[in-house]
Structure 1
Amino acid sequence: MAGVEPDHLRFNILGTLEGWAGGTRLRFGGSIQERVLATLLFEPGRIVPVTRLVEAAWDEEPPTSAAHQVRKAVSELRRRIPRGAGVVVTDDPGYRVELGDGQLDLNEFADLLRVARAAVSADRTAEAEAALRQALALWRGPVMAGRGGRVIEAAATAWEERRLTAAEQHFELRLAHGEAAELIGDLRDLISRHPLRETLRGHLILALYRSGRVAEALEEYAAVRSLLVEELGIEPGAQLARLHEGILREDLELALPSAEPLPAPATAVPEPGPADRGVCTLPYDLTDFTGRDEELRLLLEKACEPGGEGTRIIAVDGMGGSGKTTLAVRAAHRLADHYPDGQLFLDLRGFTPGERPLQPVVALESLLRSLGVPDEQLPGDTEERTALWRVAVARKRMLILLDNAVDASQVIPLLPASSGCLVLITSRGQLVDLDGAEWIGLGMLAPSESAMLLAETLGVERTAAEPEAVAELAELCGRLPLALRIAAARLRNRPRWTVAHLVERLSHETGRLNELSTGRRSVTATLELSYQALSAGGRAGFRLLGQHLGTEIDVWSAAALMGTSVREAEDLLEDLLDAHMVQQYALGLYSFHDLVRSFARSLPGDDAGGEVPAGRLLPYYLGATETACEVLFPDRLRMDVDVLVPSASELPPLRTAAQAMDWFDREYHTIQLAMDREGDLADPACVVRLTRNLAFYLYTRSKPDEQVSQGITAVRAARRLGDQRLLCLSLNNLGVAQWRVGRFRDGIDSVSEARRIARALGDEVGEAMSVGRLGLLHLDNGELAEAVRCLEQAVVLRRESGYVAGEADSWANLSSAYRRLGRYPEAVAAAEKALRVNRRVGVPDREKPAPNDLAAALLGMDEPERALAVLDEHLTPGDEARQTENHALTLALSAEARQLLGDAERALRDADRAREIVGRSGVRLRASEVENITGRVHRRAGDPARALSLHRLALDHATALGYRAEILDALTGLADAAEELGEKEEAVAYRERARVLAAELGIGEGAAE
């Protein structure tokens, strides 16, 4: 930041938090620094206590070191902000920010509102309208993009209210001066976000009425009245009611005012000149220009704002093919009448296939010749030509469109000095050294805009015939205007092709870019120019990042993939972001446009020495998952990680359970893709340990099918490695996964092999684990006696091996086996033992199965009050996302207990909710249990028909899995429901089947009932 003048410092908070030092974007660090700075910026010049900054940074759960971390965050901000010690000032008991004029958009917004109020009071409506327009233009979205936390959100709400009030007054002034139809779109957009604002609704109704759309005005009143009645239970206010009555009476006072149109303030764009507008070299305006309505509106609005002393510069940036030139040309034609002395266009060829960027001396020659300067009067060097150019356009009102700029040094000599000129610039990246420019960024078209563009270029009839294929074509083209136009051109040239046929051809990524080429236009050629503009290191990094399998890329995985430091990876990603080669939708996360990713993967060679990218990613993901699992599952068995993994500084900061789970949620799919692609080629030791870590997450998030797939991968890698201890562990974990999807016999085979290996190795922990899991598998396979034998042995073995958490699991499963056999007192004792052991371990999430087992046993002993007390203690709100199936079972058992205690309404609601949750979980093992319980609840509630339906579903699910214990419960429930419905023969048949199955399971007839 050396050399940056303090008056060039600028902070913007009305949208995403931004800081600028001259043309350089400041990076503040992490979210803590951003929240601290934002809180200070909301109260410029005032002392903000440290306690408030702590609350803003962490909401309601600050760490014990929060005050110290706030001080560290302030220190970091001072380091990152030029002369930061003079900006963020210590002032007991906290800090304050000291800023001057023009350094904070929030201050400018407040100042402009004061100007507007004074102008209204003095009846200077043109000045008031201009001030309000400028004030509203400062807003770029919700404060901190809506991610500021509770304290910042509270402060932002007050400013958002002032923004809405200003918008309402702005519309009111424009209505008062004769505008109507042109306001409707903006009013509808604002109302869609604030539907209960009656003043906005009134402005829209009046604008519709004055535009001759009386029926729509009345419909709008009916819509807002209905909404207010439904949402708030009130009728529209007096102002809306009077407006409605006036429209019905055709009140002349509502007609267009007789006042003159809103006069422009003194500094506004001049009125159009005579018909002869001087020289014009603008390209033709596309007749099928489609989309970009918001960007065009913003560009025109900026062009018509009051200007300062110098030339107004508006620049449009975006990736190649995003339609920058088309938008700028459309805007230039719209603005042409305001610049009667000429409208000049110059292609600077910054990214033109086969050509080099135009040098300023050559560009100036072209501009001067456009003004009629003869060759003999053209100076030789750049400085003299710049001076002549500025003299030639002095005191003129001209529009200059400089297209396809490569950098600021190419543009600066071409800028006129006249305050009456407007310069439009297009470039692929923001020209950070171009001071005073207002930037408009172009992203992808919206889906509706993409469909409109295809309809305009291809024909409405052809697109209307295949609407689904058109939508898919737009997505395959990445909603990029250039790609969409090329696709439309291919279809126009091939009238026998359907849209669906082109979609099928584009579905293959390897050939997609070849398809998006026609004539001289090519997506590949457009992207190639942006790629070649990168440095050699940037190109190598871009190619490697193209091999990343994630939809989003964070700086840590990028660093691992490229073999660089995290800072170097972030710098490269930021460079690519500036060049629009990547996108950023959240802080610290980057992504490729689909076509850019395809382009990156099509590039040959690898400057990094040919190393397989996943060979770098898998060790990184092993290190990161180890960190996450240490936080989330601290009671798991420890395993030595004899694989070289990145250091802690090269891994994401996963210090809390929320951070670790959020990281897993975002990354697990990418890890799976990397394992699928490279798992058989990578270091098997890394694969085994990584799949084990992933299994913990998949179990917690109830993803059983993925857990089986990863378990198979781990076993395959352990066999390849030849490590019997790891193979034993992997087979045990696979057995658990197979149990969760109901593949009991496969699970018994896997765990039996693990037990044989453990015995051969003398591995007491491995054998104890195997015996316990065999007991669980035999239990749910209906082999109850063998299950009890294994589980009783497992309790002893696990205690002797020292794995206390495993002992608790065996006690819980033993409780379930005792209950299935009708041995309820023993079931209660075993479950209570499991709970006591779990509490000793101190990991709450491990308690989930044990409370369910205890409650089920207590219900079997007809003690619903005790059962409900146990369940209520462990039924935590918000648990649906973790171990979803266990949460569903807890809720179902709670419903049954509540019903037995007389709370019938709550019981039915909870039972149905439990069934909905277990259906989402994908764990088929628990579905039949929850359906059987829900069936019993509905039967007791007097709905045997519903109960019959639920028990049939349970029977189908349990039969498909071979889950014989639940088959027995389903048959018993079917018999009871059929009997209540008067279907005696069916009831007898169900009871006979239940009796036979109970005998096979070793359960007495009474217990089966």
Structure 2
Amino acid sequence: MTAAPAEQLRFNVLGPLEGWSSGVRLRLGGAVQERILTALLLDPGRVLPVARLVEAAWDEDPPATASHQVRKAVADLRKRIPGGAAVLLTDGPGYRLVLEEGQSDLGEFGTLVGMAKGAVAGHRLAEAAEMLRSALTLWRGPVLSGTGGPAVAAAATAVEERRLAAWEEYLALRLSLGDSGELIPDLMELTSQHPFRETLRGQLMLALYRSGRQAEALEEYGKVRRLLAGELGVDPGPQLAGLYEDILRESPDLLGAESAAAPPADPVCTLPHDLADFTGREAELAELLRRAAHEGERGPQVVALDGMGGSGKTSLAVRAAHQLAGAYPDGRLHIDLRGYTPGDQPVSTGTALDGLLRALGVPGDRIPEDTAGRTALWRATLAGKRLLILLDNAADAAGVRPLLPTGNGCLVLLTSRSRLIDLDGVHWISLGVMSPRESAALVAETLGAERVAAEPEAAAELTRLCDHLPLALRIATARLRNRPRWTLRYLTERLRDEKRRLDEFSAGARSVSATLRLSYQALDDESRAAFRLLSLHPGGDIDVHAAAALLGCGAWDAEDVLERLLDVHLLRQPDIGLYSFHDLVRSFAHSVSDADGAHGEEAAAAVERLLRYYLTATGAACDVLYPGRRPLPTGVERSAAKLPDLGDAERARTWFTREQDALLAAVKLAERRGLDRYVVCLGRDLAFQLNARGNLAEFAAVGRASVAAAKRLGDLALLGMSLSNLGVACWRSGRFEEGLEAAREGRDVAARTGDRHTEAHSEGTLGQFNSLLGNFPEALAHLRRAIAFERELGVPRAEADDLTLLSTLYEQWGRYEEAEAAALRAIELQAALGRFENQFTAFTDLAFAYAGLGRWEDAALSLDRARAHLGQGADPGNAAVTLALSADVDQHLGRPARVPDLAEQALELVASNASPLRRAKVENIVGRLRRRQGEHRTAFALHADARELAASMRYRIEEAYALSGLADAADGDADAAGHRAAAEKLFERMGVAPDRRRR
């Protein structure tokens, strides 16, 4: 099954798990997410308790935190699936999946089987058989490729039984319609997979007998009789035994309606042989066969495959032709038009017609000399005939058009590297690279499963290095077969060198480089130059505006170039307006750039145009999304390239998110080329995006690169800004010691340059880090200095932010009255500034202070006001803290849990993309709540995870609370005393009063 149509969500579970949205493949996460989603897809509409999903996610011995990890996985899936909250619902004790029938291949399978039963009831047997065939083509292999574990396997077994029942019904219908010989390959494969299934064995015996293979039919009975006796100690059932008796005596009742006719003469067939190890392409093959089944009303049915060189177009077309051959009794013809054959000129139209006419038995002396005469004779010869014609390797529409029949009884299969848009009435199927599963299957088929099983990681890497291109995979595996001493690991090590990789993909007459070079040489000079320059783009996807900047042209001209390269499959299009290189094509582009000397001044100018464009675009996006940020002179001229539409927050955010990976790669590109000013300034803009999205590892990496580049530049202003950003990244990611050092250095730089604003900000950051590390007196001194600076400078916004930090410090210290005063002052300043959307943090801090004072009603009112200010742009970690504390306060007030449960919502929010320090805090709050509710095992797991997180960051106050929570949850356990003692030691070191150490 191919990708879903535009604007439609689709899941395929009958084989490796796939999710599609608007024609784009979804990334569904790791093994735990895939198993949970598969379990829900196999039982759609039903509530699966968390315990059942734990069984599905882990084969045995689930971790203590399994329930939490299931919630985390569900939260992650909701983010990965568009509209996931409406698809994956929390329902009572578990979750259920809500899909329409057409939104999953399993639902579509059930619909088709039901329609087939209705057709049988109406005596429309041929129609019923076609419906069942369509249903069976939805299967792409075992559910989750057989790696789903016992729980998923049990659910998959019931689905597999439905598939086998559909096969038996389909084959029975085909046999009743008089088919026999063409069913034998499928029946042999099915009986080998399910040797005890007597219905299938009987159908194979009948098909063999009707095809004149009586001895083989009788031998099948002998095989199953020996198998049943040896394995089960029983004989075949009476129905199979009766069929055996009928075959022995050649009962006339066994013959189909077609047996009375004389056997026809063998039709002409010039098709190449079908590859015995043909593997993969199930979805494309099913689509091709489906298209071929619809005959043209006023002409031939033409189905065409287009794709890059080496993608396996010919192999797929040959496989389809052999499967369709039975429907074309007058012949099956093949001709290689050699449009892209190394060292050869394309076959002329006249030569092609001569060969086709001779294949049909037309004597040479009857074939005209001119092309027009041959075209007329060819079309006259085909009149009234049913032929299958495979036109392979076509270069252009003009060479194909005269070869097309005019009648409606023929099928033409066509392959070409580019889509021949001048041909009308053609159904095109584009062939990309193979899926990872299909690539792995091809490697196992060609090398042998044992060799792959011995080096599974190297085999997986091999498919990636081959870019899942069939030609590259076949060349690589052929080299391994011919070199038995080579290991998979050895070959992958050779392939890792990008400069040598294309040389490795060469074997005899086959070469990936030569195949790509033919497509490249067919381009005009402008397109070749653009192809080389575009390969300089460092990211995965290139949009029209970035391409225009690289090429130094207008956006419309750039789009024309991109589309030309797309037409010949030197680029691919992952989404509308986006283009990308296959890895091997990019390597080829670099090789021709080196050969043509295109990596000199021309390349340097193109790279700087691209970086200047990205810096201008990110600056414009940040102006829309973060209007309060301080202006910073970049020292870089504004790009003249046209910018995308960034007119409002939604469009700016969408563009930033889509371009994020390319921007990260652009920073690294600037770093490699020594363009340090771009590293710093582009890194600054990107930091806003990474911080907002919670991409903390990338945020920290960009921060470190910016600091290093600013030091190389010797620009203290840029260095101070970069150190400030690095400090924020370290705070968000829990790297407090590194952040403390960056904040100290940033403060000293600011003092040297007289930048009082940055100096104040650095003091606040120092206070924050010391607070997190449990150095409360030092933290207090830094925060007081920061607030004094900010009052002197007249920056109430920054003062309010540091007051919230001060409130948190006082609350952790147990000085609740002072925490209350600081939070109230922050709220007052924010209200005067009109920053109501940011007040939820201050109201949450105020609620913590009230909770410490035992003023639960006041805490609840503050939290009501905090939640009222929560919006879509709220940091998920901060929002989670607010929700967790709300659930905790409700419980203290004796209120029933809200629906949905606020504590569970908080855990789901911090499960992914939230900073580790927020996750530790939330898990401790919810852990205490669950312990008071009597759920000691859940509480213990939450505190254990919080302790691990807090200890790794040296987040001392939450580490202490986690240890205290573990002691309470494990009360009476041998480890409880140890946890309690460790907690008390930490509290004492931080100076937290004894009466304020338990919550």
Q: Please give the TM-score of this superposition, normalised by the length of structure 1.
A: 0.71
Q: Tell me if the contact between 1:735 and 1:751 (Cα under 8 Å) persists in the aligned partners.
A: yes
The CA deviation at 1:353 is: 0.5
SS in structure 2 of the partner of residue 584 of structure 1: strand
Distance in 2 separating the partners of 1:988 and 1:433: 79
User: Does residue 858 of the first structure (1) align with residue 850 of the second (2)?
Assistant: yes
SS in structure 2 of the partner of residue 831 of structure 1: helix
1:274 — aligned with what?
A: 264
SS in structure 1 of the partner of residue 423 of structure 2: coil
User: Does residue 186 of the first structure (1) align with residue 176 of the second (2)?
Assistant: no
Alignment CA distance shift 1:186-1:390 (3 Å):
closer
The CA deviation at 1:312 is: 3.4
- Which amino acid is the alignment partner of residue 604 of structure 2? E
Q: Which moved more, 1:505-514 or 1:178-187?
A: 178-187
Gaps of 5+ in 2: 9-20, 24-80, 87-97, 144-155, 174-186, 201-236, 240-252
2:310 — aligned with what?
A: 321
Among all aligned residue pairs of Structure 1 and Structure 2, give the percentage whose two residues are the same amino acid. 44
Alignment CA distance shift 1:272-1:947 (3 Å):
same
- Which amino acid is the alignment partner of residue 785 of structure 1? P
- Which amino acid is the alignment partner of residue 631 of structure 2? R
The CA deviation at 1:539 is: 1.8
User: Does residue 902 of the first structure (1) align with residue 894 of the second (2)?
Assistant: yes
Distance in 2 separating the partners of 1:566 and 1:549: 19
1:646 to 639, 642, 645: 639
- Which amino acid is the alignment partner of residue 281 of structure 1? T
- Which amino acid is the alignment partner of residue 434 of structure 2? L
Q: Point out which structure has higher relative CO (alpha carbons under 8 A, 6+ apart).
A: 2
1:874 — aligned with what?
A: 866
2:726 to 715, 734, 737: 734
The CA deviation at 1:784 is: 2.8
1:500-522, Cα deviation, whole Å (9 max, x unpaired): 44344334433332222211111
User: Does residue 687 of the first structure (1) align with residue 687 of the second (2)?
Assistant: no
The CA deviation at 1:427 is: 0.8
Distance in 1 separating the partners of 2:940 and 2:162: 56
2:66 — aligned with what?
A: none
Alignment CA distance shift 1:645-1:172 (3 Å):
farther
Alignment CA distance shift 1:498-1:831 (3 Å):
same
User: Does residue 697 of the first structure (1) align with residue 689 of the second (2)?
Assistant: yes
- Equivalent residues in 2 for 1:268-347 (5 A)? 274-278=264-268, 280-336=269-325, 338-339=327-328, 341-347=330-336
1:617 — aligned with what?
A: 610
Distance in 2 separating the partners of 1:723 and 1:1007: 47
User: Does residue 489 of the first structure (1) align with residue 478 of the second (2)?
Assistant: yes
SS in structure 2 of the partner of residue 610 of structure 1: helix
User: Does residue 791 of the first structure (1) align with residue 783 of the second (2)?
Assistant: yes
2:425 — aligned with what?
A: 436
1:526 to 500, 515, 518: 515
The CA deviation at 1:349 is: 1.1
Distance in 1 separating the partners of 2:361 and 2:759: 94
Distance in 2 separating the partners of 1:170 and 1:454: 37
- Equivalent residues in 2 for 1:399-414 (5 A)? 399-414=388-403
Alignment CA distance shift 1:818-1:311 (3 Å):
closer
Distance in 1 separating the partners of 2:666 and 2:771: 36
1:151-176, Cα deviation, whole Å (9 max, x unpaired): xx999989x99999898556754784
SS in structure 2 of the partner of residue 423 of structure 1: strand
Distance in 2 separating the partners of 1:695 and 1:501: 40
1:635 to 607, 617, 628: 628
SS in structure 2 of the partner of residue 478 of structure 1: coil
2:668 to 673, 676, 679: 676
2:699 to 707, 714, 721: 707
Distance in 2 separating the partners of 1:286 and 1:838: 72
User: Does residue 424 of the first structure (1) align with residue 417 of the second (2)?
Assistant: no
Distance in 2 separating the partners of 1:395 and 1:991: 91
1:505 — aligned with what?
A: 494
Q: Tell me if the contact between 2:839 and 2:869 (Cα under 8 Å) persists in the aligned partners.
A: no
1:142 — aligned with what?
A: none
Alignment CA distance shift 1:984-1:680 (3 Å):
closer
Alignment size in residue pairs: 826
Q: Tell me if the contact between 1:272 and 1:340 (Cα under 8 Å) persists in the aligned partners.
A: no
The CA deviation at 1:261 is: 9.7
1:361-396, Cα deviation, whole Å (9 max, x unpaired): 443344455456677766554334434444454555
The CA deviation at 1:631 is: 3.0
Alignment CA distance shift 1:521-1:843 (3 Å):
farther
Alignment CA distance shift 1:371-1:948 (3 Å):
closer
- Equivalent residues in 2 for 1:423-572 (5 A)? 423-463=412-452, 465-466=454-455, 469-572=458-561
Distance in 2 separating the partners of 1:330 and 1:957: 55
SS in structure 2 of the partner of residue 609 of structure 1: helix
Q: Tell me if the contact between 1:968 and 1:998 (Cα under 8 Å) persists in the aligned partners.
A: no
1:94 — aligned with what?
A: none
2:31 — aligned with what?
A: none
Q: Tell me if the contact between 1:971 and 1:993 (Cα under 8 Å) persists in the aligned partners.
A: no
Q: Tell me if the contact between 2:744 and 2:762 (Cα under 8 Å) persists in the aligned partners.
A: yes
Distance in 1 separating the partners of 2:116 and 2:406: 32
Q: CA RMSD in A?
A: 4.9
Gaps of 5+ in 1: 1-12, 19-30, 35-144, 220-247, 251-257, 264-270
Q: Tell me if the contact between 2:763 and 2:786 (Cα under 8 Å) persists in the aligned partners.
A: yes
Distance in 2 separating the partners of 1:932 and 1:305: 63
1:771 — aligned with what?
A: 763
SS in structure 2 of the partner of residue 706 of structure 1: helix
- Which amino acid is the alignment partner of residue 622 of structure 1? L
2:59 — aligned with what?
A: none
Q: Tell me if the contact between 1:732 and 1:754 (Cα under 8 Å) persists in the aligned partners.
A: yes
Q: Tell me if the contact between 2:803 and 2:822 (Cα under 8 Å) persists in the aligned partners.
A: yes
Distance in 2 separating the partners of 1:988 and 1:310: 85
2:929 — aligned with what?
A: 937
The CA deviation at 1:404 is: 0.7
- Equivalent residues in 2 for 1:68-107 (5 A)? none
1:923-977, Cα deviation, whole Å (9 max, x unpaired): 3433443344344334434567876776566555445444444455456656766
Distance in 1 separating the partners of 2:110 and 2:921: 53
Q: Which moved more, 1:445-454 or 1:691-700?
A: 445-454
SS in structure 2 of the partner of residue 326 of structure 1: helix
Q: Tell me if the contact between 1:272 and 1:338 (Cα under 8 Å) persists in the aligned partners.
A: no
Alignment CA distance shift 1:504-1:636 (3 Å):
same
1:614-663, Cα deviation, whole Å (9 max, x unpaired): 4333222222322332333222223345423435x722323444443343
Q: Tell me if the contact between 1:701 and 1:884 (Cα under 8 Å) persists in the aligned partners.
A: no
User: Does residue 660 of the first structure (1) align with residue 652 of the second (2)?
Assistant: yes
Distance in 1 separating the partners of 2:436 and 2:549: 35
Alignment CA distance shift 1:399-1:980 (3 Å):
closer
Q: Tell me if the contact between 1:556 and 1:651 (Cα under 8 Å) persists in the aligned partners.
A: yes
Q: Which moved more, 1:710-719 or 1:390-399?
A: 390-399
The CA deviation at 1:533 is: 1.5
Distance in 2 separating the partners of 1:528 and 1:273: 49
User: Does residue 357 of the first structure (1) align with residue 346 of the second (2)?
Assistant: yes
SS in structure 1 of the partner of residue 603 of structure 2: coil
SS in structure 1 of the partner of residue 413 of structure 2: strand
Alignment CA distance shift 1:538-1:763 (3 Å):
same
1:39-94, Cα deviation, whole Å (9 max, x unpaired): xxxxxxxxxxxxxxxxxxxxxxxxxxxxxxxxxxxxxxxxxxxxxxxxxxxxxxxx
- Equivalent residues in 2 for 1:848-997 (5 A)? 848-875=840-867, 883-903=875-895, 910-911=902-903, 914=906, 917-918=909-910, 920-921=912-913, 923-942=915-934, 954=946, 957-970=949-962, 986=978, 989-990=981-982, 993-994=985-986, 996-997=988-989
The CA deviation at 1:405 is: 0.6
SS in structure 2 of the partner of residue 611 of structure 1: helix
